[in-house]
């Protein structure tokens, strides 16, 4: 017998807890945001599995437990202005919108930006703004940010993003030399510089320069 949607959602929350997401604010935000609304077509019935899934433009919606761990590491407060690089489906932004004061998210594929904007409207998430641009340059017009999260992997933390982080601010991002070996790191900006901490191995799609050619 197949599980009902309610049962699958319960298992989904259980999987998050068992993978180390303990922050109740993060768990509550993730319970509010239905991942089923961000996964379309063929893979829709796998939305409540703890696995990354394909979305449009050859990209992926991240694994829910990784979304949770990154969000937890970001330690977002309700006063924060957050920048996300790599909107993708909009799932991570929707979770952040429940935790932060304001969320700005940038994506290099136009089709993903409009798809995410549509879901934000349907969910009445009025504190999230999605924008088509190369996120490696951040969002200078809205900088500086209290928190920055990057959901695509670069070799290193991009300089413009470090520059757009407030003193006392936190950035969480995957970095790595290849598509297969990457680490999630946390960067905290202090008065005197940046402190780096390696959190765990991860696997993300690459951060690519420039707007996508399908725009």
Under 8 Å between Cβ of 205 and 153 = yes
d(CA 135, CA 78): 23
d(CA 74, CA 65): 14
**Which of the residues 18, 62, 65, 192 is marked catalytic?**
62
Supply the minimum distance, in Å, between the C-beta of residue 176 and ligand SAH: 14
Q: Which is nearer to ligand SAH, 91 or 104 (CB)?
A: 91
- Give yes or no for residue 173 binding ligand SAH (CB under 6 A): no
Q: Using CB under 6 A, which of 152, 165, 175, 187 touches ligand SAH?
A: 152
- Give yes or no for residue 88 binding ligand SAH (CB under 6 A): yes
What is the DSSP pairing of strand 102-107 with strand 81-85? parallel
Tokens of 10: 């319960």
Q: Specify whether 133 is catalytic.
A: no
User: In 10 A of CB 65, how many CB atoms?
Assistant: 19
Under 8 Å between Cβ of 84 and 105 = yes
Q: Using CB under 6 A, which of 92, 97, 117, 182 touches ligand SAH?
A: 92
- Give yes or no for residue 130 binding ligand SAH (CB under 6 A): no
**Strand residues in the chain grouped as ranges (E):** 53-54, 60-61, 81-85, 102-107, 128-132, 145-150, 165-175, 182-190, 193-202
Q: What are phi and psi of 102, to 5 degrees?
A: -150, 140
Which range of residues in 106-114, 122-130, 165-173, 186-194 is near ligand SAH by CB under 6 A? 106-114
Distance of alpha carbon 174 from the chain centroid: 11
- Give yes or no for residue 47 binding ligand SAH (CB under 6 A): no
Supply the minimum distance, in Å, between the C-beta of residue 173 and ligand SAH: 11
Which range of residues in 24-32, 68-76, 96-104, 134-142 is near ligand SAH by CB under 6 A? 134-142
- Give yes or no for residue 135 binding ligand SAH (CB under 6 A): yes
Among all residues, which ones are annotated catalytic?
62
- Residues making contact with ligand SAH (CB under 6 A): 59-62, 85-86, 88-89, 91-92, 106-109, 112, 134-136, 151-152, 205, 207-208
């Amino acid at each position: 017998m197949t599980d009902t949607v309610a049962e699958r959602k319960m298992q989904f929350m259980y999987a998050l807890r068992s993978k180390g997401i303990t922050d109740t604010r993060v768990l509550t935000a993730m319970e509010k945001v239905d991942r089923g609304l961000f996964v379309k077509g063929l893979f829709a019935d796998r939305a409540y599995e703890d696995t990354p899934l394909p979305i449009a433009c050859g990209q992926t919606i991240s694994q829910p437990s990784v979304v949770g761990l990154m969000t937890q590491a970001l330690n977002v407060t309700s006063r924060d202005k957050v920048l996300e690089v790599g909107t993708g489906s909009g799932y991570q932004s929707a979770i952040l919108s429940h935790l932060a004061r304001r969320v700005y998210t940038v994506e290099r594929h136009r089709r993903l930006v409009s798809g995410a904007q549509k879901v934000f409207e349907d969910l009445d998430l009025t504190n999230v703004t999605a924008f088509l641009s190369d996120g490696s340059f951040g969002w200078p017009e809205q900088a500086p940010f209290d928190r920055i999260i990057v959901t695509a992997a670069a070799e290193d933390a991009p300089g413009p993003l470090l520059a757009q982080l407030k003193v006392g601010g936190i950035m969480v991002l995957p970095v790595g030399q290849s598509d297969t070996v990457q680490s999630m790191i946390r960067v905290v900006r202090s008065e005197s510089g940046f402190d780096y901490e390696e959190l765990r191995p991860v696997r993300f799609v690459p951060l690519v320069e420039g707007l996508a050619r399908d725009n």
